[in-house]
């Protein structure tokens, strides 16, 4: 009997949701758009700024001596460099002002006999990573030409061995955006959930429902399950889009990590936390207008503090500490543990415990405050 009642309550809620031809599709389209455009926008902010990008360079050879010609050839052949011709009438200032090139390199007369060094002129606004990369590249190529070696890296390999650990702090744009904006959209489920509850309450649907022998807890469960399932479907679809679709369109990479099975418990708990937030909003608000305002404001603030809108790794220390008040922070960090840090489940579990506590608090407070009649 109870299972049949629950089935009918879920069916009723799903029918109501399917009639909303604007809000529910928006919950799926919004994160797709945010993942796509913000991954591209953030591509040069907090990831390796050199790999996969070429530096536009004006190269001028005033010497034309053998070593100078050899250096010119090696610079032009490097895959990091994209040589362009200096536009007529453009000095270096105008070249950079109109973004025609990132840098200008001059091989002066006197380079062969060692009396004059190679000159590099950078665009003043060029990122420091690009400057360092180009400066190191030109220096190593010039050293190869002067010393008469084919590859200076091979020459020094016996003297310097790199033992750098893999960077586990800086995600790729997609590794940040896919879980981040999926979590953001999951918490936005509070808007249709709370509005639907208050609408049914105001028009008397809930009151009529309680004329039947059905408990308030069963009604609540019947309303929660459809939204919980929507959250699960949201993340699965966003993960599929981020892993299969967007890399084909943008060339960005997305890695699921060493233990992708951990995504299942993380998503289950995150969906519970976002559903709990929706129930809390429904219990606190008195009108649909209040609920939409509370839900949207709460989700945006949690996104700002939680490192969704601004990557947590680039925040100042004060904001990194403040981020811990946001459940989105713990959910996002749990996903990054899986995608990026190759963390064991015991390490992820601590974050899931915090999200579970948040969900239980939301459900408890909502249960104490909610008024069905």
Same-domain check for residues 346 and 269: yes
Whether 164 is in a domain gets the answer no
What mean pLDDT, rounded, does the chain reach?
Answer: 81
Whether 320 is in a domain gets the answer yes
Q: State how far the Cα of 270 lies from the Cα of 356, in Å rounded to an integer.
A: 8
DSSP summary character for residue 21: T
Say which CATH number the domain at 76 has: 3.40.1710.10
Same-domain check for residues 21 and 150: no
Q: Please report the pLDDT score of residue 47 as a whole number.
A: 45
Cα→Cα distances 288→194, 208, 339, Å: 7, 20, 38
DSSP per residue, 13-40: HHHHHHH-TTHHHHHHHHHHHHHHHHHH
Residue that terminates a domain, selected from 89, 122, 156: 156
Whether 71 is in a domain gets the answer yes
Same-domain check for residues 102 and 8: no
Same-domain check for residues 365 and 237: yes
Same-domain check for residues 277 and 351: yes
Q: How many distinct structural domains can be found in the chain?
A: 2
Cα angle value 310/316/319 (rounded, 5°): 70
Is 184 a residue whose pLDDT tops 80? yes
Same-domain check for residues 30 and 80: no
Closest CA to 227 of 4, 26, 10, 62: 10
Whether 329 is in a domain gets the answer yes
Q: State how far the Cα of 24 lies from the Cα of 192, in Å rounded to an integer.
A: 8
Is 43 a residue whose pLDDT tops 70? no
Greater confidence (73 vs 1) lies with 73
Cα→Cα distances 101→41, 61, 64, 72, 96, Å: 21, 17, 23, 17, 6
Q: Do residues 283 and 370 touch, judged by C-beta distance below 8 A?
A: yes
Greater confidence (215 vs 99) lies with 99
DSSP summary character for residue 9: H
pTM of the model: 0.69
Q: Please report the pLDDT score of residue 135 as a whole number.
A: 87
Is 341 a residue whose pLDDT tops 70? yes
Same-domain check for residues 118 and 235: no
- CB-count exposure of residue 29 (10 Å: 0-12, 13-18, 19+): exposed
Same-domain check for residues 177 and 286: yes
DSSP per residue, 62-75: S--SHHHHHHHHHH
Cα→Cα distances 75→3, 186, 196, 208, Å: 73, 49, 64, 79
Residue that terminates a domain, selected from 156, 179, 195: 156
Q: Please report the pLDDT score of residue 25 as a whole number.
A: 75
Q: Please report the pLDDT score of residue 355 as a whole number.
A: 95
Same-domain check for residues 150 and 179: no
Q: What confidence category does residue 49 fall into, taking pLDDT thresholds of 50, 70 and 90?
A: very low
Q: State how far the Cα of 71 lies from the Cα of 104, in Å rounded to an integer.
A: 15
Same-domain check for residues 102 and 186: no
Place of tokens 């429904």: 282
Whether 162 is in a domain gets the answer no
Mean pLDDT of 346-363: 92
Residue that terminates a domain, selected from 101, 130, 156: 156
Highest mean pLDDT: which of 166-170, 285-289, 311-315, 353-357? 353-357
Whether 161 is in a domain gets the answer no
Highest mean pLDDT: which of 53-62, 163-172, 315-324, 326-335? 326-335
Same-domain check for residues 333 and 273: yes
DSSP summary character for residue 117: -
Q: Do residues 242 and 256 touch, judged by C-beta distance below 8 A?
A: no
Of 8-12, 78-82, 284-288, give the lowest mean pLDDT range. Answer: 8-12
Closest CA to 143 of 193, 81, 74: 74
Place of tokens 């089935």: 7
Of 25-29, 256-260, 355-359, give the lowest mean pLDDT range. Answer: 25-29
Same-domain check for residues 286 and 176: yes
Whether 118 is in a domain gets the answer yes
Residue 332 is part of which domain span? Answer: 2-46+170-369
Whether 269 is in a domain gets the answer yes
């Amino acid at each position: 009997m109870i299972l049949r009642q629950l089935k009918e309550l879920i069916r009723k809620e799903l029918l109501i949701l399917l009639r909303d031809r604007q809000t529910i599709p928006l919950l799926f389209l919004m994160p797709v758009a945010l993942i796509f455009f913000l991954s591209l926008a953030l591509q040069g902010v907090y990831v390796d700024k050199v790999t996969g990008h070429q530096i536009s360079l004006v190269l001028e050879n005033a010497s034309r001596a053998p070593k100078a010609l050899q250096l010119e050839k090696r610079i032009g052949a490097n895959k990091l460099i994209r040589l362009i011709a200096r536009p007529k009438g453009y000095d270096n200032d105008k070249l950079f002002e109109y973004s025609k090139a990132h840098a200008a390199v001059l091989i002066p007369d006197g380079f062969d006999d060692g009396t004059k060094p190679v000159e590099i002129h950078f665009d003043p606004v060029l990122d420091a990573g690009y400057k360092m990369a180009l400066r190191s590249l030109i220096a190593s190529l010039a050293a190869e030409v002067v010393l008469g070696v084919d590859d200076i890296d091979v020459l020094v390999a016996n003297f310097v061995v790199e033992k750098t650990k893999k960077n586990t702090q800086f995600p790729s744009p997609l590794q940040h955006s896919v879980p981040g904006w999926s979590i953001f959209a999951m918490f936005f489920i509070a808007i249709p959930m709370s509005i639907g509850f208050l609408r049914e309450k105001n028009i008397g649907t809930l009151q009529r429902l309680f004329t039947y022998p059905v408990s308030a807890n069963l009604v609540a469960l019947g309303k929660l399950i459809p939204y919980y399932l929507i959250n699960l479907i949201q993340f699965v679809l966003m993960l599929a889009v981020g892993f299969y679709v967007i890399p084909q369109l943008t060339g960005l990479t997305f890695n699921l990590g060493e233990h992708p099975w951990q995504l299942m418990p993380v998503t289950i708990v995150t969906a519970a936390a976002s559903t709990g937030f929706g129930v809390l909003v429904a219990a606190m608000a008195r009108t649909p207008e209040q609920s939409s305002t509370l839900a949207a404001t709460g989700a945006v603030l949690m996104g700002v503090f939680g490192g969704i809108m601004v990557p947590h790794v680039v925040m100042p220390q004060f904001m990194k500490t403040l981020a811990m008040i946001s459940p989105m922070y713990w959910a996002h960090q749990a996903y990054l543990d899986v995608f990026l840090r190759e963390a064991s489940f015991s390490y992820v579990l601590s974050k899931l415990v915090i999200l579970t506590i948040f969900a239980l608090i939301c459900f408890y407070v909502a249960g104490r405050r909610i008024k069905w009649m």
